[in-house]
Amino acid sequence: MTQTPEDATRIGRRASLAAAVGTAIEYYDFAVYGYLAVVLAPLFFPSQDGLIGVLSTLAVVASGFLARPLGGLFFGRLGDRKGRRAVLMATVTVMGIATVLTGLLPTYATIGVFAPILLTLLRILQGFSAGGEIGGAASLSTESAPSKRRGLFGSATSVGISLGLAGAAAVVGTLTSLTSPEQMASWGWRVPFLIAGPLLVGAVLYRMRVEDSPLFQELVEHSEPTKAPISEVVREHKAATARVVGIAYATMTTGGLSSVYLLVHLSAVLGYSLSGALWLIVLIVLMPLGLIPWAGSLSDRFGRRRVLAAGLVGFLILGVPCFWVMQQGSLPLAILAALVLNIPFGIQQGVVYTQYSELFPTRVRYTGVSLGFNIGGVIGSGLVSVIATSLVAATGNSLSPSWYLVFAAIVGLLVVATMRETSRSDLSSDVHTPADQKA
């Protein structure tokens, strides 16, 4: 059915908002644990060495990321066979339930070793759910967008991520400001997890109002969805998957070091107050919100590769100087350095999820994006805080995380150099061809 430009814009806007809302809830749920790592460490991993306790808590963060590829494969297969909308409702539901249950957990003092075991299992369940979110949100928003505005509409996924990260930091920061350390350790840490309950209900209700992407609906009308999307991705789209892995590693490592990890770095390594560091995180996560859609729009005009490379070059130039400024003992200077470091973060986030989607055909897009993104996430965001904190512990140099940031940016630039430009690609070109006629 032919769409008018007005219809295409309306559908694209609604799908993008659905992607942003659900992704915001997912990333709120997933980030709360990271922001509370310093508080949770003595509750679930009692240790004489505070840094070792933090490392143990961050290792649980990594376990959640290790589950993401499995979740990506499971939900990606469903999404390519049954549609994006229904699967996205499932991912946000599983995430919300796991988060609420985390807020109800007894601590080590109550049930001993079973406390960290249960915490880890729930974190794995969160990771399994999160593994299916980005592939679906990116597919839904990109496939529903007008062809010449995919970068702008596709940037909604990144906007959702930033809102979720900022919301989690704001809630934790507010509680830290209003409670004593004893109250925070006793009951305050539970509140951010329990808030996930009403947020879950709102996200599911909104996603129920959104139809599936027009491209997926066309695909179903003209051919049977692929029966084995995982096999097809591995067999026919190895290069695209490898590129998504590389870009995801680079952008999630640089982004993680310039956002969530900074809470650990500023509070546990550099000794700033936890409350002050949390509000800094809110600022630096919200700051790119204006840059993200702007960068997405620029990529519609100048191409995905140029905009993505610009963000990575920014990290290459600013990484070491900004981390050096943070360790000068002044929180205002640390805030300024963190804000500057998040300029390239906003630029790369504005284009990256649209770029992932455009590398795969409609019939396997959900699976392809989920597989590549989550493998990159395991070696990127999943390990970034552990690696950065370990570098500080091993070298005694608080500047050492910036070296890892520069390394990740170089990896990303090398991958971008191997990619073709996709901003002018016709995503509908594959939906009218029967499966048995595809190369």
- What's the pLDDT tens digit per position in 314-347? 999 999 999 898 888 777 787 788 888 889 999 9
pLDDT in tens, 141-150: 888 888 788 9
On the question of pLDDT at 437 being above 50, the answer is no
Interatomic CA distance for residues 138 and 154, integer angstroms: 6
CA angle 211, 216, 220 (to 5 degrees): 110
Percent of the chain residues past pLDDT 70, beyond the cut: 88
Interatomic CA distance for residues 310 and 228, integer angstroms: 37
Q: What is the mean pLDDT of residues 13-28?
A: 83
Q: Is residue 109 part of a domain?
A: yes
CATH number at residue 391: 1.20.1250.20
Q: Is residue 78 part of a domain?
A: yes
Interatomic CA distance for residues 131 and 174, integer angstroms: 29
pLDDT in tens, 405-420: 999 999 999 999 999 9
Q: Specify the pLDDT at position 250.
A: 95
Q: Is residue 186 part of a domain?
A: yes
Q: Is residue 3 part of a domain?
A: no
Alpha helices per DSSP H over 237-290: 238-257, 260-264, 274-286
Matching residue, tokens 């400024």 = 325
Interatomic CA distance for residues 19 and 138, integer angstroms: 7
Q: Is residue 352 part of a domain?
A: yes
For residue 60, the enclosing domain spans: 14-418
Q: Is residue 366 part of a domain?
A: yes
> Which tokens go with 133?
């979110």
Q: Is residue 9 part of a domain?
A: no
Q: Specify the pLDDT at position 293.
A: 92
What domain count does the chain have?
Answer: 1
Identify the burial level of 300 via C-beta atoms within 10 angstroms of its C-beta, where 0-12 means exposed, 13-18 middle and 19 or more buried. buried
Q: Specify the pLDDT at position 54.
A: 59
Q: Is residue 424 part of a domain?
A: no
Interatomic CA distance for residues 16 and 159, integer angstroms: 10
Q: How far is CA 287 from CA 163, 172, 226, 253, 409, in A?
A: 10, 18, 41, 19, 21
